Amino acid sequence: MTASLPRAAVFAGDEVGRHDTLNSNSASHPTAPADNSFLPGPVLLLGAPGVGKGTQAQLLVTKYGIPQISTGDLLRANKARGTELGLKAQSIMSTGQLVPDAIVNEMVLNRLREKDVERGYILDGYPRTLEQAKFLDETIADPEFLPRLPVIAVSIVASYDQLLQRITGRRICATCKSIYNIYTNPPKVDGICDCEGAPLSQRSDDTEPVFIQRMKTFEEQTAPVIAHYRALGRFEEADGNQDVEAVSAAVEAALFHLRQQATREVGA
Ligand code: AMP
């Protein structure tokens, strides 16, 4: 039905064209002037596999000129540098289990002392446990940490079928890295890249059984964190069943609303 849609990102989770429209470096700084009219503060962005969380995080990074803090990236960087922390985390990460809270918390604490977080930051993959959430809340309540604002959490949600289609329909060109989706953004010729005619392939983990397992892990891990921020009145959902621009608008509306509410609460 969408065969005639343009190659530009069609649905949020397809992440089509992400490599050429968005900077994939999570610590990147914006090239366009950042929007200084809104102080985002600490933002926890949540989203199931395939929902387009990475794309939305990068849009916020660019728009507000704030960094994205991904504990997965920080851990991988430590591993690559061979630090003590990296060595401790290495074996745990290779099994897919969670690294102990104390290790991750300390790493985040150090990151939050850097100057680029002063207007806010996008938290990616942290907090992942209730202990981490409590540690984060207590830490940033200390006036040493800027900006002096509490965490607000936005979860991008899309239907199970939509996510499944995005993941299992994804095809990638090994030559130019273009990403297609056989359901929503197919190539002109089945299995062949439009750009240079190279064959398209499917990532080995883009299958239904792997997707089901990843969804289960995601739900188990995020449930306590969502419950925590929901109970504090600092959680909202954004509809991810739309195109990238509409999801972005929904995410921003949730951020404005939550930030207004949280600011009123702390009497700032
Ligand atoms: P990610 O890139 O976010 O999927 O993280 C990769 C791996 O790093 C995870 O499977 C965990 O082993 C570890 N990790 C990342 N963030 C955390 C966290 N907040 N708490 C515990 N372990 C984490």
pLDDT in tens, 139-168: 999 999 999 999 999 999 999 999 999 999
For residue 74, is pLDDT > 90?
yes
Are 71 and 186 contained in the same domain? no
Q: How far is the CA of 192 from the centre of ligand 1 (A)?
A: 35
User: Region 73-79: what's the mean pLDDT?
Assistant: 93
Q: Name every residue whose Cβ is closer than 8 Å to that of residue 103 and which is 6 or more positions away in sequence.
A: 85, 88, 89
Would you say 175 and 19 are in contact if contact means Cβ atoms under 8 Å apart?
no
For ligand 1, the distance from its centroid to the CA atom of residue 101, given in whole angstroms, is 10
Which atom of ligand 1 is the closest one to the Cα of 76?
8
Based on the fold, state whether residues 78 and 115 are members of the same structural domain.
yes
Residue numbers of the domain that contains 224: 12-160+208-266
Task: Report how far apart, in Å, the C-alpha atoms of 128 and of each of 9, 22, 44, 51, 219 are.
Answer: 29, 26, 10, 18, 11
Q: Is the pLDDT of residue 4 over 50?
A: no
Per-residue pLDDT at 242: 92
Q: Do 23 and 103 fall within a single domain?
A: yes
In the chain, the number of structural domains is: 2
Instruction: Give the tens place of pLDDT for each residue, 85-117.
Output: 899 888 888 887 889 999 999 999 999 999 999
Q: Do 190 and 217 fall within a single domain?
A: no
What CATH number does residue 40 fall under?
3.40.50.300
Mean pLDDT of the chain: 85
Q: Cα of 22 to ligand 1 centre, how many Å?
A: 23
**Which of these, 102, 29, 97, lies nearest to 63 by C-alpha position?**
29
Closest residue by Cα to atom 6, ligand 1, is 72
pLDDT band at 124 (very low <50, low <70, confident <90, very high): very high
Residue 235: beta bridge partners?
153
Over residues 222-255, the pLDDT tens digits come to 999 999 999 999 999 999 999 999 999 999 999 9
pTM, 2 dp: 0.81
Q: pLDDT confidence of 191, banded at 50, 70, 90?
A: very high
